[in-house]
């Protein structure tokens, strides 16, 4: 019996199985390949198959894709819950969410269900659900901002949606058209934004958390055949201006957060839980976050769960803004990181050079000893742009200058530019306006 080409096993080295699988899945997602769409849809193919909504490990099918136009709405009682002030909302042990959430289910045999906007509440999972045993989950984090012009905005939500698609494929969860996810996020804010981010509170924000989890109730190490997408909106404390700046402690020599060939570039929970042991120890010593180093060289990668930047002068006197590269897939392609790099290259090109390269903690120590280290900051959705004032590495302390004890000069510039876009002081394509219900 002759095998068809579709069933003949391909000879590939054991070392490239993961990268090969990812390449095949990404090739089916035009939104990840080049940011463009095919015939107006990223999930359409000439042969009628549905590439973005088939299973990440299976053959593409013509099952229904994620479709925001099919959203059904069940409204909560608008008088049941009052909106707390920011300080009260962030003072307890539970995250305070808005009135509604969005959910959509997926089954390998049925595709995506019609998404639902419904009252916020518990999810129902079986104890044998895949996510509870095999970490089949990924998530995103972005914010909705009430502008000083009264309008409600999201900041570059297309980047979060595209990254979430990449994360779902990396963790063997179902794909989707990222534009549909973006539309669902906008729909949630259109309903809950007017009440929970009222125009009387300009300069405030809500934290948005889309997530996809494997829900198939079957034990066994396998790609789940059932999944759940949900989106919530909540309060989050402001963390971008700790008194005296962020203080970092480098990771212990026997612990790393991510590694080349792993999944540090995907936003999956497995990147975070194992890092908490070292983070808690650092906090007991008076430091806020871990500066994660990699390899015997001690390459600087990330500050906690944020990207990390330094501003220094080279030995030749050139001023540089330096951050770790993305090409080895060791760190997250942060939306804030990407925006900092793009803004700096555009608006600071006459003052400094933006450099994405590997650099070591020894280089930072040397720059500090020689008086060439100008400033440092962490960048991410939660911490926004947060000035770093100190790094403890083994027996060495690096104290980093901060203008007026608050921030470095370039940290403040970049933070100000991005804040202006987020809150409507500057009209910019990155600030996506929400069409709110009246």
DSSP 8-state symbol, 403: B
d(CA 426, CA 207): 21
Angle formed by the axes of helices 157-170 and 335-347, nearest 10°: 130
In the numeric block, which tokens belong to residue 344? Answer: 């700096």
Residue 41 and residue 175 in contact, taking contact as beta carbons nearer than 8 Å = no
pLDDT of 36 reads: 39
Report the Cα 224 to chain-centroid distance in Å: 23
Helix axes 409-422, 335-347, angle to 10 degrees: 110
Predicted pLDDT at 19? 63
Query: Is the separation of the CB atoms in 203 and 197 below 8 Å?
Result: no
Which tokens in the block code for residue 123? Answer: 């999810």
What was the pLDDT predicted at 29? 58
What pLDDT does 347 receive?
98
Strands 246-250 and 289-294: parallel
Residue 405 — left, alpha, or beta (φ > 0 → left; ψ -120 to 50 → alpha)?
left
Count Cβ atoms below 10 Å from residue 320 Cβ, excluding itself.
17
Q: What is the pLDDT of residue 26?
A: 64
Q: What's residue 61's pLDDT?
A: 53
What residues form DSSP beta bridges with 249?
A: 290, 392
Q: How far apart are CA 339 and CA 323, in angstroms?
A: 13
Residues lower than pLDDT 50 in the chain? 1-14, 31-52, 54, 56-59
Task: Tell me the two tokens of residue 46.
Answer: 């000439």
Separation CA 379–CA 359 (nearest Å): 17
**Using CA of residue 176, residue 154, residue 228, residue 180, what is the dihedral sign?**
negative
Residue 83: predicted pLDDT: 96
Structure pTM?
0.89
CB-CB neighbours of 321 under 10 Å: 25
The string of DSSP codes covering 15-31 is GGHHHHHHHHHHHT-HH
Beta strands, E only, 30-150: 72-73, 100-107, 111-112, 116-119, 137-139, 142-146
Q: Is 140 left (phi over 0), alpha (psi -120 to 50) or beta?
A: beta
- Angle CA 414–420–423, to nearest 5: 135
> CA-CA distance, 318 to 351, in Å (whole number)?
9
- Report pLDDT for 22: 63
Nearest to 272 by CA among 139, 96, 92, 94: 139
pLDDT, residue 256, reads 87
């Amino acid at each position: 019996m002759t095998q068809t080409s579709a069933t003949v096993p391909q000879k590939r080295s054991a070392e490239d199985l993961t990268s090969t699988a990812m390449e095949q899945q990404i090739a089916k997602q035009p939104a990840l390949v080049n940011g463009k769409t095919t015939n107006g849809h990223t999930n359409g193919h000439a042969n009628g198959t549905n590439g973005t909504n088939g299973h990440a490990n299976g053959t593409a099918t013509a099952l229904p894709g994620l479709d925001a136009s099919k959203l059904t709405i069940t409204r909560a009682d608008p008088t049941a819950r009052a909106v707390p002030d920011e300080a009260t909302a962030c003072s307890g042990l539970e995250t305070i969410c808005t009135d509604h959430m969005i959910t959509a289910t997926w089954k390998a045999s049925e595709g995506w269900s019609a998404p639902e906007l419904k009252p916020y509440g518990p999810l129902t999972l079986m104890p044998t659900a895949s996510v509870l045993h095999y970490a089949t989950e990924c998530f995103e984090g972005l914010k909705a901002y009430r502008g000083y012009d009264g309008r409600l905005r999201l900041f570059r939500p297309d980047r979060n949606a595209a990254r979430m698609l990449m994360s779902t494929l990396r963790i063997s969860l179902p794909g989707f058209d990222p534009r549909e996810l973006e539309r669902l996020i906008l729909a949630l804010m259109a309903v809950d934004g007017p009440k929970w981010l009222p125009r009387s509170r300009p300069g405030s924000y809500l934290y948005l958390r889309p997530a996809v989890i494997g829900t198939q109730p079957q034990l066994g190490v396998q790609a789940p055949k059932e999944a759940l997408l949900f989106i919530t909106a909540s309060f989050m404390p402001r963390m971008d201006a700790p008194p005296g700046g962020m203080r970092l402690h480098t990771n212990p020599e026997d612990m790393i957060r991510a590694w080349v060939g792993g999944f540090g570039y995907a936003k999956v929970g497995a990147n975070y839980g194992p890092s908490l042991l070292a983070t808690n120890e650092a906090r007991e010593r008076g430091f806020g976050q871990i500066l994660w180093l990699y390899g015997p060289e001690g390459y600087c990668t990330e500050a906690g769960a944020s990207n990390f930047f330094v501003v220094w002068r080279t030995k030749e006197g050139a001023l540089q803004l330096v951050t770790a590269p993305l090409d080895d897939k060791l760190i997250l392609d942060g939306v804030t990181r990407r925006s900092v790099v793009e803004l700096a290259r555009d608006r600071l090109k006459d003052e400094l050079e933006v450099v994405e390269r590997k650099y070591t903690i020894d280089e930072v120590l040397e720059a500090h000893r020689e008086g060439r280290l100008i400033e440092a900051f962490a960048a991410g959705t939660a911490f926004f742009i947060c000035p770093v004032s100190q790094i403890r590495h083994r027996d060495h302390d690096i104290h980093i200058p901060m203008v007026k004890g608050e921030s470095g000069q370039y940290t403040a510039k970049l933070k100000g530019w991005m804040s202006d876009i987020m809150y409507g002081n500057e009209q910019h394509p990155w600030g996506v306006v929400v069409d709110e219900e009246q």
